[in-house]
């Protein structure tokens, strides 16, 4: 595991962003990964300039994705409560065409969800060809929340022979990895982002909600209650990331204590991965070109 330093695209070549790409099952300790990084911006104006530049690149890539109409993109956002998932989706993806993008929030499974396998509801949320699907949390909750609170698994109506032991979690990680390999073969590009914040920063953000009338509606008793399990969640994330990170489907750990810098980093990850997809406008067949030529001639005579 090493820090990946990416140069921004022109005209931002003098700026750099830092994140961590995890692409193997080597042991991971989140405590060894910083929650802050040197900001890629020095002023509000520079921040807006950098973000708008990447907005334009993402928007252009979305058009190519739809035009090519062979691949789909899934962007997964994971992180502790208040890590900034909602804000990242709002600010980073504000330039995309909503007609080609969907957002799915994976909350507690419904009674209908619990009547099926744990990946069932994910299939219903997959984006169509040429579309972008954003997962605010995801199927990974089934290896995170249920890992911290294994009693929740009782509601999933699993075979009574199942024990929630080491083998059980190894199999669940294997199921997820195989599922992502399957999706990859079907043309799905998956970007998995974990926004990494400190416990101190989370407390600060939770307290801010109490002090800001516009954020009172965000306060949830579960946020305070789950904070007591911070160490358990950190351990669950470590196990989850290191057991599902592969060369073809890596995890990106983004330092999240600075919200703005995190958004710039995430936007750059998307720009970079879009480039790797090598999207192209479809080539017209000779007969299609002749048809267009005839249509153009007909229009010219009008």
Predicted confidence at residue 141, as pLDDT, reads: 97
Token pair listed for 108 = 């507690």
**How far does the chain reach from its first CA to its final CA, in angstroms?**
64
Give CA–CA dist 277/65, Å, rounded: 9
pLDDT tens digits, 235-275: 999 999 999 999 999 999 999 999 999 999 999 999 999 99
Q: Beta strand 132-136 with 72-79: parallel, antiparallel or unpaired?
A: parallel
CATH of domain 2-301: 3.40.50.300
- DSSP structure class, residue 25: -
Q: Is the pTM of this model over 0.85?
A: yes
Q: 115, 154, 122: which is closest to 139 by C-alpha?
A: 122
- Residue that is written with structure tokens 């890596």 in the block: 250
Q: 18, 87, 84, 13: which is closest to 53 by C-alpha?
A: 13
pLDDT tens digits, 49-67: 999 999 999 999 999 999 9
Angle at which helices 85-92 and 259-277 pack, to 10 degrees? 60
Predicted confidence at residue 253, as pLDDT, reads: 96
SS3 175: helix
Token pair listed for 230 = 């911070």
68 and 280 Cβ atoms separated by less than 8 Å: yes
194 and 251 Cβ atoms separated by less than 8 Å: yes
SS3 284: coil
SS3 18: strand
41: phi then psi, degrees, rounded to nearest 5:
-135, 155
DSSP 113-169: GGGS-TTHHHHHHPPPTT-EEEEES-GGGGGTHHHH-GGGGGGGT--TT---SHHHH
Predicted confidence at residue 221, as pLDDT, reads: 85
Q: How many CA atoms lie within 13 A of 218 on its CB side?
A: 16
Block means of pLDDT (10 residues each) for the chain, length 302 residues? Answer: 39 54 91 92 94 96 97 98 96 93 95 96 96 98 97 92 92 98 98 98 94 85 91 98 96 96 96 95 91 92 84
* Cβ-based neighbour number of residue 244 at 10 Å: 23
Give CA–CA dist 64/194, Å, rounded: 26
Give CA–CA dist 108/139, Å, rounded: 11
299 and 292 Cβ atoms separated by less than 8 Å: no
Give CA–CA dist 161/151, Å, rounded: 15
Domain ranges of the chain: 2-301
- DSSP structure class, residue 184: H
**Going by C-beta distance under 8 Å and a sequence separation of 6 or more, which residues neighbour residue 71?**
65, 129, 130, 187, 188, 189, 277, 279
């Amino acid at each position: 595991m090493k820090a990946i330093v990416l140069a921004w695209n022109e005209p931002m070549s003098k700026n750099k962003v830092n994140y961590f790409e995890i692409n193997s099952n080597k042991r991971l300790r989140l405590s060894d990964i910083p929650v802050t990084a040197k900001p890629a911006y020095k002023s509000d104006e520079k921040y807006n300039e950098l973000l708008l530049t990447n907005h334009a690149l993402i928007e252009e890539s979305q058009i190519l994705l739809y035009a090519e109409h062979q691949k789909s993109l899934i962007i997964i956002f994971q992180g502790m409560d208040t890590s900034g998932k909602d804000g990242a989706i709002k600010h980073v993806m504000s330039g995309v065409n909503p007609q080609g993008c969907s957002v799915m929030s994976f909350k507690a499974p419904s009674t209908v969800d619990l009547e099926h396998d744990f990946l069932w509801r994910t299939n219903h949320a997959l984006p169509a060809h040429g579309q972008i699907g954003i997962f605010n949390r995801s199927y990974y909750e089934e290896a995170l929340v249920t890992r911290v609170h294994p009693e929740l698994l009782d509601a999933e109506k699993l075979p009574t022979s199942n024990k929630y032991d080491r083998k059980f979690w190894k199999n669940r990680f294997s199921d997820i990895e195989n599922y992502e390999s399957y999706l990859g073969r079907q043309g799905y590009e998956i970007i998995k982002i974990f926004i990494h914040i400190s416990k101190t920063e989370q407390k600060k953000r939770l307290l801010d909600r109490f002090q800001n009338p516009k954020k009172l509606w965000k306060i949830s008793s579960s946020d305070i209650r789950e904070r007591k399990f911070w160490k358990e969640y950190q351990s669950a994330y470590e196990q989850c990331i290191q057991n599902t990170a592969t060369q073809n489907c890596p995890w990106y750990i983004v330092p999240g204590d600075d919200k703005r810098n995190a958004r710039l980093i995430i936007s750059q990850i998307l720009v970079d991965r879009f480039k790797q997809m090598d999207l192209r406008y479809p080539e017209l067949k000779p007969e299609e070109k002749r048809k267009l030529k005839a249509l153009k001639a007909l229009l010219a005579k009008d």
